[in-house]
Amino acid sequence: MTARMNERYPDKYLRKLLTRARRIAVVGVSMNPVRPSFYVARYLALKGFDVVPVNPGHAGKTAFGATVVGSLRDIEDSVDMVDIFRRSEHVPPIVEEALELFPDLKTIWMQIGVWHEDAAAIARAREVDVVMNRCPKIEYQRLFGELRMGGFNTGIISSRL
């Protein structure tokens, strides 16, 4: 399962996935604003993605202007991407359900620390693109020039001697 954990994805590939996605189901979203699943989903919504928050413990609540659903089965219509914020051992049934429910699914995205090679192979066999152990928020910021340098001046400083 760890053979491809550190797999490198070409920027062109990641850019394609993020550009073509319009509707993203975020599985395992939290209502706690300091949790990565909350602020990643919020960021994606702020960037114009139609985010469908998925978490059975928060079903019926509102997050990012959308109603949290309890499972992928509760999503009306389809999604382009399923972004998974669950431990790796929980990935296979999520991928299987996504492939069953969304015939036009384009991408399975597993968050940082999440990977499952067997589930990825099943998705790829159905011609669904897969990213493991990466964050779409970080990749979006990096690829579309939004990373901040934490206050460091990135300009060249010249001095005269």
CATH number assigned to the domain comprising residue 45: 3.40.50.720
139: containing domain: 11-143
Q: How many CB atoms lie within 10 A of CB 116?
A: 23
Is pLDDT at 156 greater than 90 in this prediction? no
Question: Tens digits of per-residue pLDDT, 31-77?
Answer: 999 999 999 999 999 999 999 999 999 999 999 999 999 999 999 99
Nearest to 37 by CA among 77, 72, 85: 85
In a domain, 77, yes or no: yes
In a domain, 101, yes or no: yes
* Whether the model pTM is above 0.85: yes
In a domain, 158, yes or no: no
In a domain, 4, yes or no: no
Give CA 45 to chain center in angstroms: 12
The structural domain count of the chain equals 1
User: What SS3 state is found at 39?
Assistant: helix
